Amino acid sequence: MDIKKDGVTHVDDLDHEFHDAKVAVQLSEDAVHIKQSPWTSSMLKLYGCLTIAYLCGCLNGYDGEVPL
């Protein structure tokens, strides 16, 4: 930040903002071209966690009585 004689400040962030935009565009282009698989070990772990959470939610309303 430059402080001029009359007290006006100037922030020179254009190069930084341009670099951030360039990185964001490159990241989005890389994400489009990567072949993603839903069957990796980390995705299977996620599916397991979500299944347990779903089943716990389903069993939350079960009170143990079975009508005959």
- 65 belongs to a structural domain: no
Helix count and strand count (H, E) for the chain: 2, 2
Give residue 39's pLDDT band: very low, low, confident or very high (50, 70, 90).
very high
Give residue 58's pLDDT band: very low, low, confident or very high (50, 70, 90).
confident
Which residue range(s) make up the domain with 11?
A: 2-59
- What torsion, rounded to 10 degrees, do the Cα atoms 20, 24, 27, 29 define? -130
The number of angstroms, rounded, from the C-alpha of 52 to the middle of its chain's C-alpha atoms is: 22
56: tokens are 């716990």
Task: Record the pTM.
Answer: 0.48
What does the alpha-carbon distance between residue 65 and residue 21 come to, in Å, rounded to a whole number?
Answer: 59
- 54 belongs to a structural domain: yes
Alpha carbons within 13 A on the beta-carbon side of 53: 6
pLDDT tens digit string along 4-35?
555 555 555 566 677 788 889 999 998 889 88
Question: Looking at the 3D structure of the chain, how many domains does it have?
Answer: 1
- 32 belongs to a structural domain: yes
- 64 belongs to a structural domain: no
> pLDDT at position 63, please?
65
